[in-house]
Amino acid sequence: VKEIFNFSQDDLTTEDVFILNCHTELYVWIGQHAKFRSKESAFSIAK
């Protein structure tokens, strides 16, 4: 897990998974080519 400062939409790549903390909501971005393990980990962390 790595925090991205000064995040922009361009940071969302198709190879990665991101958890976006928008203060009152959490979003999980899953890139089209993200690895299965990364997907599982992201949902587990977001819970």
- Confidence at residue 47, expressed as pLDDT on a 0 to 100 scale: 86
CB 29, CB 43: distance < 8 Å: no
User: 34: which DSSP letter?
Assistant: -
Residue 36: inside a domain? yes
Residue 21: inside a domain? yes
Residue 34: inside a domain? yes
- Confidence at residue 28, expressed as pLDDT on a 0 to 100 scale: 94
Residue 4: inside a domain? no
Residue 39: inside a domain? yes
pLDDT level of residue 1 (50, 70, 90 thresholds)? confident
Residue 33: inside a domain? yes
Q: Which domain holds residue 37?
A: 9-46
CA-derived radius of gyration, the chain: 10
Residue 38: inside a domain? yes
Q: How many domains does the chain have?
A: 1
Q: Per-residue pLDDT tens for 8-25?
A: 999 999 999 999 998 899
Contacts of 18 (CB under 8 A, 6+ apart): 4, 11, 12, 28, 29, 42
CB 28, CB 46: distance < 8 Å: yes
Average pLDDT over residues 20-41: 94
Residue 3: inside a domain? no
User: 15: which DSSP letter?
Assistant: T
Task: Tell me the one-letter amino acid at 37.
Answer: R
